[in-house]
C-alpha cells in the first residue's frame, strides 16, 4: 500500500503515544481517519491537532468484541471502506518487573483483553469486510520486541505480545493463502517515549486488583527512567511503521538493540539448551549500546 491519499485509516489507541503519531502521519498523507480510544478526552485532544482531516472519533474498549464490531460499522457507514487498520491499543500492568506469580488475575485479564483480544476483535470485525470489498489494503498490528524476547520481567505484557506476534503471522499467512490484496505489518517497538507505562489510569474498575495498584520498585524505576530518556519518539516510530506499510514488510523493528537476545533465545531453542535471559538490572545508563540504539 503506497497511495494513502483519500484512503481510510482506522487506528485504535489513537488518544496518545504511537496511536496519536500514526493519526498525525495518516492525516498528513491525506487519509480519512477513524480514531478510537477508551479515553474520549485524549481523542479530542489529538483530533484538535489534526486540522481539517475528515475524521470520526469513537470511544472504544477494544477488549469488547461488540464495541469493535460497532466501530467497524461506524467506519463503513461514515467513509464507505477501510483501507488501513491499525490494531494499536495496548496496556502494561503496573509493577511490570514483579515475579510472574505475583500478578493478579485482573492483571492478566486486563492485559490480554486489550493487547490480545483487541487485535483479534479488530481482525474479526474488519478483515472479512476488507476482503469482501476486494480493495488493496493493509493491517498494522502493534506488538513489541517483548514479543520476541523472554525472561522474568514484564511477564504479563510480554506474554500478551508473544500472542500478538503469532496472531499476526497467522494473519499474514492466511491472507496470502486467500490471495487477498491485503498486506500485513507487525510493528515491534523497543523503548518508546509514550504513556503506556501510565496505562493504569485507563484500567476499568472491574479489572482493578483487590490488592490495589502496584508500582515499580524504586531501583528498577530509576533504571527505566534513565533508559527512557533515550527512547525514540512516537513520531519516529510512526514513520517507521508507514515505511513498513509502504514496502509491504511483515516485520518492522524500531531498534536492533535486542537482536542478540532474540538470537540467543532462538539458538537455545534450536540447540535444546537452557537459555540465558538478560535482566533489566544488568542494563545501566552507561550502556553505550543502549544509549545509541534503544527505541
**Could you give the CA distance from residue 61 to residue 72 in angstroms, rounded to a whole number?**
13
| Cβ atoms within 10 Å, residue 291 | 15
Query: Quick check: is 157 catalytic?
Result: yes
Q: Is residue 196 part of a domain?
A: yes
The answer to whether 24 touches 49, Cβ cutoff 8 Å, is: yes
- Burial call 45-72: b when 16+ CB within 10 Å, e when fewer: ebbeebeebebbbbebbbbeeebbeebb
pLDDT tens track, the chain, 295 positions: 889 999 999 999 999 999 999 999 999 999 999 999 999 999 999 999 999 999 999 999 999 999 999 999 999 999 999 999 999 999 998 876 788 999 999 999 999 999 999 999 999 999 999 999 999 999 999 999 999 999 988 899 999 999 999 999 999 999 999 999 999 999 999 988 776 667 777 888 888 877 766 665 554 554 455 555 677 899 999 999 999 999 999 999 999 999 999 999 999 999 999 999 876 444 333 333 333 333 2
> Which residues does 186 contact at the CB level (< 8 Å), separation at least 6?
141, 143, 164, 165, 168, 169, 172, 250, 251, 252
Backbone Cα Rg of the chain: 19
Q: Is residue 82 part of a domain?
A: yes
Using CA of residue 171, residue 124, residue 23, residue 113, what is the dihedral sign?
A: negative
| Catalytic annotation, pick one of 103, 157, 172, 228 | 157
Q: Is residue 41 part of a domain?
A: yes
Which residues does residue 184 pair with via DSSP β-bridges, in sequence order? 139
Number of domains observed in the structure of the chain: 1
Q: Is residue 101 part of a domain?
A: yes
Q: Is residue 265 part of a domain?
A: no
CATH, residue 72:
3.40.50.720
pTM: 0.90
Domain membership of residue 26 as a residue range? 8-222+233-258
Amino acid at each position: 500500500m503506497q497511495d494513502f491519499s483519500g484512503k481510510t485509516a482506522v487506528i485504535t489507541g489513537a488518544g496518545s503515544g504511537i496511536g496519536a503519531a500514526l493519526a498525525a502521519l495518516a492525516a498528513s498523507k491525506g487519509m480519512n481517519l477513524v480514531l478510537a480510544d477508551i479515553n474520549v478526552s485524549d481523542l479530542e485532544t489529538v483530533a484538535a491537532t489534526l486540522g481539517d482531516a475528515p475524521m470520526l472519533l469513537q470511544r472504544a474498549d477494544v477488549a469488547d468484541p461488540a464495541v469493535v464490531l460497532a466501530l467497524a460499522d461506524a467506519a463503513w457507514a461514515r467513509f464507505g471502506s477501510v483501507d488501513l487498520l491499525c490494531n494499536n491499543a495496548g496496556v502494561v500492568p503496573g509493577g511490570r518487573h514483579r515475579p510472574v506469580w505475583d500478578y493478579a488475575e485482573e492483571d492478566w485479564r486486563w492485559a490480554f483483553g486489550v493487547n490480545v483480544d483487541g487485535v483479534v476483535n479488530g481482525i474479526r470485525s474488519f478483515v472479512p469486510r476488507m476482503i469482501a470489498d476486494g480493495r488493496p489494503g493493509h493491517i498494522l498490528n502493534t506488538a513489541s520486541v517483548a514479543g520476541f524476547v523472554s525472561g522474568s520481567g514484564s511477564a504479563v505484557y510480554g506474554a500478551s505480545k508473544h500472542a500478538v506476534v503469532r496472531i499476526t503471522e497467522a494473519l499474514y499467512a492466511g491472507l496470502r493463502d486467500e490471495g487477498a490484496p491485503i498486506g500485513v505489518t507487525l510493528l515491534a517497538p523497543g523503548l518508546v517515549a509514550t504513556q503506556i507505562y501510565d496505562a493504569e489510569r485507563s484500567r476499568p474498575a472491574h479489572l482493578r486488583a483487590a490488592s490495589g495498584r502496584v508500582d515499580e520498585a524504586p531501583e528498577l524505576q530509576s533504571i527505566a527512567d534513565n533508559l527512557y530518556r533515550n527512547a525514540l519518539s512516537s513520531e519516529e516510530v510512526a514513520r517507521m511503521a508507514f515505511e513498513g506499510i509502504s514496502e509491504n514488510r511483515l516485520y518492522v523493528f524500531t531498534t536492533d538493540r535486542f537482536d542478540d537476545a532474540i538470537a540467543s533465545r532462538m539458538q537455545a531453542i534450536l540447540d535444546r539448551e537452557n537459555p540465558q535471559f538478560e535482566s533489566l538490572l544488568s542494563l545501566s545508563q552507561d550502556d553505550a549500546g543502549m544509549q545509541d540504539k534503544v527505541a
